[in-house]
Structure 1
Amino acid sequence: MAHAYPPLGVEVRTPRLVLAGATDERLARLLPVVRAGVVGPEPLPFDDPMSLYADSPEREWRWLRGIWAGRARVDPDQWRLYFVVLVDDEPVGMQDLVGAGFSRFGSVTTFSWLAPGVRGSGIGSEMRAAVLHLAFDGFGAREATSEAFVDNTASNRVSERLGYEPNGRDWATRRGDAAMLRRWRLTRDRWAESRRADIELAGVEECRPVLGL
C-alpha cells in the first residue's frame, strides 16, 4: 500500500503472516497487546533500557514515544524500520530491522517481540525469515546479526534454525543485572542456500531512497 512516507508503506508477505509498516493506525491496533503485557515469567528477554518492562500506562507511552523517535532518526548510516506483525489481519507483535552503518558495511540487526498467546507456534521463525528476505533481497544486505540472552532459548533456536552461525558472546544488563548474550551472524551466501520463493515484498523501491540506497 502506498504511503506518503515510504518506509511506512513497505510490506513483507509470507503464507502465514504480513509485516506491515508501523503506521499510527496499526500501532493503535497493537496497543491493547502492549497494555496487557508482553513480558512473561523469567528469564527476562530484553536488555536495558526497555519500555516494555515499565508498568501500564507508562509502558504504552514509552513504547509509542520510542517508535516515534526511531522513525524520525533516518539517514544512510542509521535507520530502523518498524513493522507490525499481522496474522489473519490481527496484530500480534512487532519486527524491527536496523541498519547501523549500512551504507558502509551492509550489515543489519533485528529485534522482535510477540504476544504471549501466539508464542511457540512458529510465528517467531516466520517473521524473522520475512524480515531477512527484506534485508537481503530488498536492500542487498551483506550480513545479518542477532543476539539474545543465553537463557532466551526461543530466540536462540530461531537464529540456529534460520542458518545463523555463532558469533561470540557479550554482556548486557536487564533490569540492572548483568547477563550474558549469545551473538549470531548470517551471511548473504548462507541465507541464499535456503532462500524462500514464497515471500513477497511491496513498497521497497519507494523506500530505498529514504534510506540512502
Structure 2
Amino acid sequence: MHSYPPLNVSVSTPRLELRGATDDLLEELVPVVRAGLADADPPPFDDPMSLYEPDPDLRVQKWLQGIWRGRGSVTSDFWRLNLVVLIDGRPSGMQDIIGTSFDAFGTAVTFSWLSAELRGRGLGREMRDAALHLCFEGFEAAEASSEAFLDNVGSNRVSQALGYARNGTTWATRRGHPEQMQRWRITREKWLPARRDDITMTGVDACRETFGQSP
C-alpha cells in the first residue's frame, strides 16, 4: 500500500488490469516509451505531446515529468488519475482519467495508449470499458468524453462500439499541423444498461477523498 491513495487504485477485468501509476510500474513501462511503441501512424496525439519527442532519453524524461506534475496538481475541480495497463501482469500502456470541472458538472475525459505490438486484439475497448466503469461506478461521474483525430480509426470505433454519441468536431494541432478531431460523449444513463458485472475495483474511496469527493 502506498501513502498516496491514487497509487492504490486498481480496476480489473478478465483480460487486463488498470493500476495506479507508481514509479515502479512506470519504470517497467520505460522501455516501451523509449522504443517509441506508444506512437502510431497516423500520429494519434495532439500537441504538445512528450511521446512525439524524437530523442528517446528526452522522450522518457518529459513523459515522466508530465506524470509527476499531474500528481501534484490536484483539486476537487480538476485532477488526472494515471493508470498503467497490465496485460498478463506486464505493463503495456496507460489509461488516464481526467476530471474536468468535476465539482460542478461531474465530467471526465479519458486518454489512453497501448504498446504497438498489442493493438488490434480488442484490448483498447477493454481498457476503455474499465475506465468507464471507474468513471461511473467508482467516481459517480455524470458523463465521460473522448476525442480522436478523424483518421484515428481504432479510437473512434471504440467510442462508437461502447455507445458514445458524436458530439461535434474541434481543431487541434498534430506535430504542428492543424487537424480535425471527432468529439464523443456518453452519459451515465446511457452507460448503465451496458454496465458489466465482471469488472472489480479497489482503492477508489480513498482516492475520491484525495480528489476532494465524498465517497
Task: Give the AA of the match of 2:173.
Answer: T
1:62-77 to 2 correspondence within 5 Å? 62-77=62-77
| Deviation at residue 41 of structure 1 after TM alignment | 5.2
State the match for 2:176 in structure 1. Answer: 176
State the match for 2:8 in structure 1. Answer: 9
Sort the Cα spacing of 1:41 and 1:93 in 2 relative to 1 into closer, same or farther, 3 A. closer
1:17-56 to 2 correspondence within 5 Å? 17-40=16-39, 42-55=41-54, 56=56
Sort the Cα spacing of 1:39 and 1:140 in 2 relative to 1 into closer, same or farther, 3 A. closer
CA distance in structure 2 between the aligned counterparts of 1:39 and 1:141, rounded to whole angstroms? 28
Deviations 1:132-181 (A, max 9, x none): 10010011000000000000000000000111000000000001100000
CA distance in structure 1 between the aligned counterparts of 2:142 and 2:7, rounded to whole angstroms? 23
* Structure 1: gaps spanning 5 or more residues: none
Q: What is the root-mean-square deviation of aligned Cα atoms in Å? A: 0.9
Deviations 1:168-197 (A, max 9, x none): 000000011000000000000110010000
CA distance in structure 2 between the aligned counterparts of 1:23 and 1:206, rounded to whole angstroms? 16
* TM-score, normalisation: structure 1: 0.98
| Deviation at residue 42 of structure 1 after TM alignment | 3.0
Residue 82 of structure 2 aligns to a residue whose secondary structure is strand
CA distance in structure 2 between the aligned counterparts of 1:206 and 1:39, rounded to whole angstroms? 30
CA distance in structure 1 between the aligned counterparts of 2:5 and 2:39, rounded to whole angstroms? 34
| Deviation at residue 40 of structure 1 after TM alignment | 4.7
Tell me, yes or no, if the aligned pair for 1:39 and 1:45 is still in contact at 8 Å. Answer: no
* TM-score, normalisation: structure 2: 0.97
Task: Give the AA of the match of 2:11.
Answer: V
Sort the Cα spacing of 1:211 and 1:45 in 2 relative to 1 into closer, same or farther, 3 A. same
1:18-167 to 2 correspondence within 5 Å? 18-40=17-39, 42-55=41-54, 56-167=56-167
Residue 154 of structure 2 aligns to a residue whose secondary structure is helix
* Structure 2: gaps spanning 5 or more residues: none
State the match for 1:203 in structure 2. Answer: 203
Task: Give the AA of the match of 1:208.
Answer: R
Task: Give the AA of the match of 1:158.
Answer: V
Deviations 1:60-91 (A, max 9, x none): 00000000001110010110000000011001
Tell me, yes or no, if the aligned pair for 1:38 and 1:52 is still in contact at 8 Å. Answer: no
Number of residue pairs aligned between Structure 1 and Structure 2: 212
Tell me, yes or no, if the aligned pair for 2:38 and 2:114 is still in contact at 8 Å. Answer: no
| Deviation at residue 38 of structure 1 after TM alignment | 2.4
Tell me, yes or no, if the aligned pair for 2:107 and 2:141 is still in contact at 8 Å. Answer: yes
CA distance in structure 2 between the aligned counterparts of 1:5 and 1:139, rounded to whole angstroms? 17
Identity between Structure 1 and Structure 2 (%): 56
CA distance in structure 2 between the aligned counterparts of 1:202 and 1:39, rounded to whole angstroms? 27
Task: Give the AA of the match of 2:153.
Answer: T
Residue 111 of structure 1 aligns to a residue whose secondary structure is strand
| Deviation at residue 11 of structure 1 after TM alignment | 0.3
